[in-house]
Copies of this chain bind each other. A is one copy, B any other.
Amino acid sequence: MSRGLTVSIDAMGSDAGPGVVVAALARSTVRHPDVRFLLHGDEAVLRSLLGRRAKLAAKTEVRHTPESVRMDEKPSQVLRRGRNTSMWRAVEAVANKDAELAISAGNTGALMAMSMYQLGVLEGVNRPAIAVLWPTKRGQSVVLDVGANIAADAGQLVEFAVMGEAFARAILGLERPTVGLLNVGAEDLKGNEAVRAAANILRSVNLPIEFGGFVEGDDIAEGTVDVIVTDGFTGNIALKTAEGTARLVVHFLRTALRRSLMARIGAALASGALKTLRRKLDPRAANGGIFLGLNGVVVKSHGGTDAMGFASALDMAIDMARAEVIPRIVADLSALTQITSSEAAAS
């Protein structure tokens, strides 16, 4: 049973154009029949795209916006001049309670700035983070921050841990997800000041978090812990390095399987299995960066993705809105604030 929700969509953010976005919504209506859509963008274009999809059109309201955000615009620019863009209006609908969540495939920095400005940051959060679901040997893990911030101090890393843990409980359905801090070694003395201080806080403060200590880069794919916490610079580079490596291995595999007649016959016989592998590695299946720490649900889809990728990001956004992750984060952060302030008073 799916509960009625309204999704607010920046239709003009995708590199591939609004056609991909509308095709993704058409997919989504099958999976989520009760969901309604608020579509922001060029009305003439969107009406023509909806013309061929009567079922989708019936649950979609188009709101015309004359402008859109360019990929090379700076967040400070779009905050000043971006009020008439499809991205601004998509987030505004969540702020106005016209929609439960917003999604865009546009400029990440602009989307974060607009979301912070319009929705506000939760109490106890210094900076929001972007979280992704990462495929592992054991299933999926949550990794954050993958690029909202360039750096993070110890307090921010602890906030990311709290937010990521609440997200993992809700989305992965785990009762007590384990949390690790990404570092260059598992020993206590390794790493920079921020990760060591964050580990001390997570160990000493009496939070209801299953802290697994430091983890290394290869622990992410192993699934050693359910939530991996890092700063946005390292997290972004780790994520893209993993994407590049997966593509490289598939490239090597494809080259090897073309080399001889025997290999080509083998590949043909194993084509079903190889298709399963491709599906497992399909970046579209795990598409979507969730903004955590905002007073509202905002999801960033990859700009270069197709309808299937956009639909995956949308699925995750709907799951997050339904699971009511934000109230959980608010409760956990307020517990963190109480514990740290009472411990500070006691010492």
Contacts and interface: CB of A to CB of B under 8 A. Distances in A.
A176 interface: no
B244 A241 contact: no
B238 A221 contact: no
A270 B267 contact: yes
Contacts of A183: 237
A247 B233 contact: no
Contacts of A191: 150, 233
Interface of A: 72, 74, 135-137, 147, 150-151, 182-184, 187, 189, 191-192, 216-222, 230, 232-234, 236-253, 256-257, 259-260, 262-263, 265-274, 276-277, 280-281
5 contacts: A150-B184, A184-B237, A221-B241, A257-B273, A269-B269
Contacts of A151: 192
B240 A242 contact: no
Contacts of A222: 244, 248
A23 to B, nearest CB: 26
Contact of A237 (B217, B250, B270): B217
Nearest to A247: B221
A121 to B, nearest CB: 21
A69 to B, nearest CB: 15
A180 to B, nearest CB: 12
Nearest to A270: B266
A189 B246 contact: no
B270 A247 contact: no
A239 B217 contact: yes
Contact of A277 (B232, B234, B239, B253): B253
B280 A273 contact: no
Cβ-closest 4 pairs across A and B: A266-B270, A217-B240, A266-B269, A218-B244
A225 to B, nearest CB: 13
Contacts of A274: 256
A127 B233 CA distance: 22
A34 B260 CA distance: 38
A257 B191 CA distance: 39
B217 A243 contact: yes
Contact of A266 (B184, B220, B238, B267): B267
Contact of A72 (B187, B239, B240): B187
Contact of A262 (B240, B245, B249, B270): B270
A246 B245 contact: yes
A269 B265 contact: yes
A221 B244 contact: yes
Given A222-B244, A234-B233, A249-B249, A272 B263 contact: yes
A257 B274 CA distance: 8
Given A266-B268, A277-B252, A281-B252, A247 B218 contact: yes
Contacts of A249: 245-246, 249-250, 277, 281
A272 B252 contact: no
